[in-house]
Structure 1
Amino acid sequence: MSSFELLPGAPASPVLLHVPHSARAIPEDVRRGIVLDDAALERELDHITDAHTAELAGAAAALATVTPWRFVNQLSRLVVDPERFPDEREEMTAAGMGAVYTRTTHRSGLRPADTDPEPLLERYFRPYARAMTEAVAGRLAATGRAVVIDVHSYPTEPLPYELHGTGPRPPVCLGTDAFHTPPELTEAARTAFADCGGIGLDSPFAGTYVPLEFYGTDARVGALMVEIRRDTYMAEPGGPAGQGLDRLATALAALVDAA
C-alpha cells in the first residue's frame, strides 16, 4: 500500500488540499509494534482520526470551478504523523506524540517509550515529506505560486493529549502562520465558511503545514489550516458523516475558488 496519493487537479490551479489524518489503515508489521489490543486500537483510531476529511476534500474538489490538487495520506497518523517534526523541536514530541507516537490521545501507552522511530521515519515520514515538497514545487513551477489548504477536524470536547485545549472550540477553526498566511487568504476563508456556524482563529489548534524547504523563506507558498469541529458533520467519536458534510464541502469549494 502506498502511504500517500497525489490526485491531480487543473494544471492552472495553485491550490493543494492536504489531507494528512483521514485514514485508519495500519500495516500489519507496524501494528505489531503497538501495545493496544484490537478493541483499544479501534477506540484510539476513533479519537485520533480526522474522519471523513478525505471525503470532504474530494467533494469540494468536485464542486470547485477550478479543480484543486489533493495530497491524501493513505495511512493512519498512528503509523507516522507527517505534520510533526521528526526530532525534538516541538512540545508534542516531549508528550509522546511527535512524528512517531508512543502515547495515545488519553496519554496511555501506544508503543514502548524506548521505541526507535528511525525505521518508521525512513519508510514513511521522509518519502511523504519529499513527495509533498515536490507537489508544492510543481504548483510553483506551473502557476508561480502555491496555496496549501490543510483539511482537519477536531472533537467537540478536548482530549487529554491536547496541550492547549482550554481555548475556544468554534465550528470552524482557521490555523494561520505569520509568514505564509496572507490576510486575504484568511478573509477568503471567513467569507467561504460564514454560514457554517462560527469561525475562530488558531484555537484550539494553530499554525499551518508548509514543507520545510519553503517554510519561512518562500512567500509564494501560502498556507491555511481548516479545522472542522466534528459535531458539525459527523457522529462522534468515529461514526458516520451527516448532512453537515455537504455544507462544508460547498464552503471549502468556495475557498478553493477564492484562493
Structure 2
Amino acid sequence: MNETAAGFRLLPGAPDSPVLLHVPHASRAVPGDVRRDIVLDGPSLHRELDHITDAWTDEIAAGAAADAAVRPWRFVNRLSRLVVDPERFPDEREEMLAVGMGAVYTRTTHGEALRPADFDGRDLVERYFAPYARALQEAVDARLAATGRAVVVDVHSYPTARLPYELHGEGPRPPVCLGTDAFHTPPELVAAAREAFAEFGGTALDSPFAGTYVPLKHYGKDPRVTALMIEIRRDVYMSEPGGAPGPGLGALAGALARLVDTVGAPGAPG
C-alpha cells in the first residue's frame, strides 16, 4: 500500500489487471488547517459531511477487490471532498462553479456558505488537487503499460431525495446510476454493468448524475482508456443521511466484483 501526505492511497491489484477502482468521495477527514477556513460550526459541519460524503463506498470497493478473481487496483481519496473535489476541474467555469461547488467548494449542498465569499482556493488546488490528479494519471499510465488498456470505474453514491445543489436531479433516481462518456464508455462496458447490478432492481444512464472520470492526458484522445461511473442510491445499502451500512453493502461489493471480473478478463471489451 502506498500512502502519501497528499491524501490518497493507491492500493495494488494484480499485475495483469487493467481495472482501477476510483473512490473519490468516501472520506469525512478535513485537516485542521483546512477546517479553519470553513465557516460551519461543529454540528453543521457534521450534517454537511453526512450529506456530501459517499459513505462506505471505500468498503464496497474493498469488498469487490477481495471477491474478484483478479484483484483490481484501487485509488482512494483519504480526505473529504470539502477539502478539494478531485473530480472537478481546477479552473472550472461551468455550472458547478456557479453553485459554489467547483474544485474548492464555497457553498454547501443546501446553498449555504461553506467558506468566505472572497476565499482563494488556489493553495488547496496546489496542495491537494494537483498531486491527486498527477498520481491518478500515473496509475492509469501504469495499467496501460502493464496490460495495454485501463478500465477506470468510479465508485460513488447519492441520496434517495434530491439535494438543492443537484442541477439535474429531476430525472430518475434508480438503485444504480451508470455515468458514461461518449468517447470512453463503450456499449459493452455499460452492458456488463447492467448485468452485474441487475439484482438491485434497475439501472439508468446518466441520471441523476452523468459522466465519468478520465485523466486529462487521456480524455477524448486515448481509446485504450475506458471508464464508467457507478452511482449507488444510498438507501440500497445504508441508513441515510450518514448512518451505518446494511446488508446491501456486501451484495453491492459482490456485484462490483462481477463487473471487475467481466471487464478485467483478458481480451474482454471495455
Aligned to 2:65: 61
Q: So what's the TM-score if we normalise by structure 1?
A: 0.99
Once superposed, which parts of structure 1, at least 4 consecutive aligned residues long, lie more than 2 Å away?
A: none
Pairwise CA distance, 1:95: 1.1
Q: Partners of 1:88 and 1:238 in 2: how far apart?
A: 28
1:81 aligned counterpart, secondary structure? coil
Structure 1 contact 88–94 (Cα < 8 Å) conserved: no
Structure 1 contact 14–68 (Cα < 8 Å) conserved: yes
Q: Partners of 1:220 and 1:90 in 2: how far apart?
A: 28
2:112 aligned counterpart, secondary structure? coil
Whether 2:18 is the aligned partner of 1:14: answer: yes
Pairwise CA distance, 1:2: 4.2
Structure 2 contact 92–103 (Cα < 8 Å) conserved: no
Q: Partners of 1:125 and 1:148 in 2: how far apart?
A: 19
Aligned to 1:97: 101
Q: Deviations over 1:176-214 (max 9, x none)?
A: 000000110000001100101211110000000001000
Aligned to 2:213: 209
| Aligned amino acid, residue 126 of structure 1 | A
1:72 aligned counterpart, secondary structure? strand
Identity %: 75
Aligned to 1:51: 55
Q: Partners of 1:194 and 1:232 in 2: how far apart?
A: 13
| Aligned amino acid, residue 147 of structure 1 | V
RMSD, matched Cα: 0.6
After TM superposition, the structure 1 = structure 2 runs for residues 179-258 of structure 1, keeping only pairs within 5 Å, are 179-258=183-262
1:195 aligned counterpart, secondary structure? helix
Aligned to 1:106: 110
Q: Deviations over 1:2-39 (max 9, x none)?
A: 41000000000000000000000000000000000011
After TM superposition, the structure 1 = structure 2 runs for residues 19-168 of structure 1, keeping only pairs within 5 Å, are 19-168=23-172
**What number of residue pairs does the alignment pair up?**
259
| Aligned amino acid, residue 248 of structure 2 | G
Structure 1 contact 196–247 (Cα < 8 Å) conserved: no
1:205 aligned counterpart, secondary structure? coil
Structure 1 contact 78–101 (Cα < 8 Å) conserved: yes
| Aligned amino acid, residue 235 of structure 1 | S
Q: Partners of 1:116 and 1:89 in 2: how far apart?
A: 15
1:207 aligned counterpart, secondary structure? coil
Pairwise CA distance, 1:90: 2.1
Give ranges in structure 2 of 5+ residues lacking alignment.
Answer: 264-270
Give ranges in structure 1 of 5+ residues lacking alignment.
Answer: none
| Aligned amino acid, residue 78 of structure 2 | Q
| Aligned amino acid, residue 197 of structure 2 | F
Flag the 1:15–1:222 CA change in 2: closer, same or farther, 3 A. Answer: same
Structure 1 contact 87–93 (Cα < 8 Å) conserved: no
Q: Partners of 1:89 and 1:224 in 2: how far apart?
A: 24
Q: Partners of 1:171 and 1:90 in 2: how far apart?
A: 28
Structure 1 contact 23–49 (Cα < 8 Å) conserved: yes
Aligned to 2:266: none
1:173 aligned counterpart, secondary structure? strand
Q: Partners of 2:56 and 2:110 in 1: how far apart?
A: 22
Q: So what's the TM-score if we normalise by structure 2?
A: 0.95
Q: Partners of 1:88 and 1:53 in 2: how far apart?
A: 26
